[in-house]
Amino acid sequence: MDYLDQLEAEAIAILREVAGQFEKPALLFSGGKDSITLVRLAEKAFRPGKFPFPLVHIDTGHNFPETITFRDQLAESIGEKLIIGLVQDSIDSGKAVEQKGKNASRNALQTVTLLETIEKYGFDACIGGARRDEEKARAKERIFSVRDEFGQWDPKRQRPELWNTFNGKIHKGENVRIFPISNWTELDVWNYIKREKIALPSIYFAHQREVVFRNGQFMAAAEALQIDEDDEVSTRTVRFRTVGDMTCTAAVESEKTDIDDIILEISQSKISERGARMDDKVSEAAMEDRKKGGYF
Amino acid sequence: MDILKFLTAGSVDDGKSTLIGRLLYDTDSVLADQLEAIQNANRKNDDGTVDLAILTDGLKAEREQGITIDVAYKYFQTHKRKFIIADTPGHIQYTRNMVTGASNADLAIILIDARKGVIEQTIRHSYLVSLLALKHVVVCVNKMDMVAYAEDVFEDIKASYLTLASQLNLKQITFIPVSALRGDNIVNSSLNMAWYNGKCLLEHLETVEVAEQNKNLPARFPVQWVIRPQTDELHDYRGYAGRVASGAFNVGDAVTVYPSGTKSNITKIEVFGGELNQATQGASVTIHLQDNLDISRGDLLAISSAAPTVANRIEADICWMDTKPLDTSQMYLIQHHSKVTKCKITDILYKVNINTLEKINTPDLGLNDIGRVEIKTADELAFDPYQLNKNNGGAIIIDSRTNVTVGALMLRAGL
């Protein structure tokens, strides 16, 4: 079997386990290529039936407008339910406090809104598009990753995960994060998107954009970045390798407008995908600490 | 291009992490920012070169202690194959982690320190590889640079390992003399060991054939989910969704449903946007049957020409994975594929001293212990002996009070 078929078959089987084992699952949808891939895999797992879960987007309010448009169109075209949790609501209710200063980001606040949304709808399983090749803490996370009622991940208390047998049994209040594409790499995802002709938000492809140069990287010149006179804004041809909050997703200079060129560029690239994420750079253990706190 | 999943067994002292680091480094699988993070890390080899072992260290606690606690998965690919490495700790207190890593691997790399030869942990690792029914073993005799790349050292170790392997019924074994630290025979053939004519490690991993042995296994299909849209246009649609555990199913095949024992024929094998004539091991598909049967999640479709073992009293090998010891009076849950039922572990036949392979009579089985047990299940299980068909012979034990996975079972036979 071809490697993409193997990865696809594994992911479909994981999604069907979620359907079989949980009362109220949800698919966490960010509008990025990994969660768009999950949507395609869910179609493969459950059609001609409906998805046994809604799509859930935790919206920081600082997303790329292109992503939001894409999200709404996708949910409409596949005829599935979309639930949106707004970080702004968590801020307004006082549950989340906005960071101050120039490098302020709502990225960390997503955790608060995510946990609130899980509680509000009573989700017992949240499917996410994280991959083990992204980061070294993720390399050790299970495909079924149990979180306590505070959303915390305890790396030392992970359940052994044998064969393709997934234990999703939990106590009330706990929930399980599920990562069907754990074993995929960035390149696998791109090759799959190409093979399946999956549509993506336009920001993945080269386009002209006003950017500011901060901390060694180009950031989209958006209002949320609090640009002042010290910042040098220029227009460049760029694309994004990941699609997150505008305040923490850096662009790479690229002329690539075609998926084949992007695949080639990634194969040759010398910077890893999460290297373009400011949120991981804070310390060597940044991701591990965020996951322990309930992050995706 | 296909995928090879392999396990690396060995401890820090054997240079296991260095070996994996070397594979990643020499296949250009380490990206600039990861390399930068390593170079900035406060750990170097004695000669000031980058410590490649850091590439596989994941968690803070592990970096502090300089050991691998958990199973870490690493990915790389060449033009020939995609590789998934399960990097597992080698110490005896992490036996369960090695068992976990081995459960999903096609091949195991066993590391032997050329200065030490076959030692207690070599026996332990090889035993576990045999218990989990991994068919391919690569013995890397590491640190050849420390023994002046001497052929006789390698040959002596090879001879003593073969004695062990025959005891454990390990058959397909490849020996490679390497130095992970210096890069000899890992990705590139070594100039220091002209006497070695075999493949270097990477070339072996790229070419070893693992799929072939699965072709003749009996066809098994655990039902995960029943697709019933119940819309006007798909009123009678009823598809059984799952993944082929072993063998191959063809349209027209006679199948038996377990545990009920009812029979039917396959009328259609569906995938999103199309149909197949055949679904082989590993494929996620939706199967349609001729008759309207009562089939639900947890049932097994099996090719009628080769029946599985169906039993509620079962002998099995077990690896205990919880700090709380096995309790023969406690009710547990057993999960075999999507089937979950209550069970009791009624009898501990023996425990294995996995350093010496000696069988011990004992009423106790604790964390990381391996033994043979008898279990009694509430519902019957339809399985195949693990050593013959590991894709339908493995099950887990769940403590229903904590919900934690506390044991791994390699099912052997009905009683």
Query: In b/e form, how buried is each residue of A133-148, taking b as 16+ CB within 10 angstroms?
Result: bbbbbbbbbbbbbbbe
Using a CB–CB cutoff of 8 Å, tell me whether B98 touches chain A: no
List pLDDT tens digits, range A168-198.
Answer: 999 988 889 999 999 998 889 999 999 999 9
| Domain coordinates in residue numbering, chain B | 2-210, 220-303, 309-414
| Domain coordinates in residue numbering, chain A | 3-189+285-292, 201-278
Query: Which range in A134-138, A167-171, A243-247, B78-82 is most confidently predicted, on average pLDDT?
Result: A167-171
Q: Residue B2 and residue A2: Cβ atoms within 8 Å? A: yes
CA atoms of A35 and A37, how far apart (whole Å): 5
B-proximal residues of A, 260-279, CB under 8 Å = 269-272, 275
Residues 6 or more apart in contact with residue B148 via CB below 8 angstroms = none
List pLDDT tens digits, range B244-297.
Answer: 999 999 999 999 999 999 999 999 999 998 999 999 999 999 999 999 999 999
Residues 6 or more apart in contact with residue A290 via CB below 8 angstroms = A108, A111, A279
pLDDT of residue A155: 73
B-chain residue closest to A19, CA distance: B225
pLDDT of residue A100: 78
Question: Which chain B residues are closer than 8 Å to A6 by Cβ?
Answer: 2-3, 282
pLDDT band at B375; cut points 50, 70, 90 = very high
**Least confident residue range of A106-120, B31-45, B199-213, B383-397:** B31-45
B-chain residue closest to A275, CA distance: B33
**Least confident residue range of A66-70, A195-199, A220-224, B329-333:** A220-224
Question: Which chain A residues are closer than 8 Å to B98 by Cβ?
Answer: none
Q: Residue A13 and residue B224: Cβ atoms within 8 Å? A: yes
Share of chain B above pLDDT 70, in %: 89
The architecture that CATH gives domain B220-303 is Beta Barrel (2.40)
Length of chain A: 296
The architecture that CATH gives domain B2-210 is 3-Layer(aba) Sandwich (3.40)
B-chain residue closest to A48, CA distance: B229
Within B91-193, where are the H helices? 95-103, 120-131, 151-167
Q: A3-189+285-292, which class in CATH?
A: alpha beta
Q: Residue B41 and residue A169: Cβ atoms within 8 Å? A: no
Q: How many CA atoms lie within 13 A of B11 on its CB side?
A: 14
Give the residue with greater pLDDT, A105 vs B316: B316
- Residue A101 is encoded by which pair of tokens? 């200063």
pLDDT of residue B55: 64
**How many CB pairs below 8 A link A and B?**
164
User: Which H or E run contains B37?
Assistant: helix B32-40
Give the residue with greater pLDDT, A174 vs B409: B409
Q: B309-414, which class in CATH?
A: mainly beta
Q: Residue B282 and residue A170: Cβ atoms within 8 Å? A: no
pLDDT of residue A284: 47
User: Which H or E run contains B39?
Assistant: helix B32-40
Using a CB–CB cutoff of 8 Å, tell me whether B195 touches chain A: no
B-chain residue closest to A182, CA distance: B73
B-proximal residues of A, 170-229, CB under 8 Å = 170-171, 182-183, 185, 187-188
| Whether the predicted pLDDT of B220 surpasses 80 | yes
pLDDT of residue B15: 80
- Residue B63 is encoded by which pair of tokens? 């970096």
Using a CB–CB cutoff of 8 Å, tell me whether A293 touches chain B: no
Give the residue with greater pLDDT, A160 vs B36: A160
Matching CATH topology for B220-303 and B309-414? yes
Q: Residue A139 and residue B58: Cβ atoms within 8 Å? A: yes
Q: Residue B227 and residue A46: Cβ atoms within 8 Å? A: yes
Closest CB from A17, A136, A159 relative to B404: A159
Closest CB from A3, A16, A50 relative to B82: A3
Residue B337 in contact with residue B411, Cβ under 8 Å? no
3-state secondary structure chain A: CCHHHHHHHHHHHHHHHHHHHCCCEEEECCCCHHHHHHHHHHHHHHCCCCCCCCEEEEECCCCCHHHHHHHHHHHHHHCCCEEEEEHHHHHHCCCCCCCCCCCCCCCCCHHHHHHHHHHHHCCCEEECCCCHHHCCCHHHCCCEEEECCCCCCCHHHCCCCCCCCCCCCCCCCCEEEECCCCCCCHHHHHHHHHHHCCCCCHHHCCEEEEEEEECCEEEECCHHHCCCCCCCEEEEEEEECCCCCCCCEEEEECCCCCHHHHHHHHHHCCCCHHHHEHHHCCCCCHHHHHHHCCCC
Q: Residue B41 and residue A284: Cβ atoms within 8 Å? A: yes
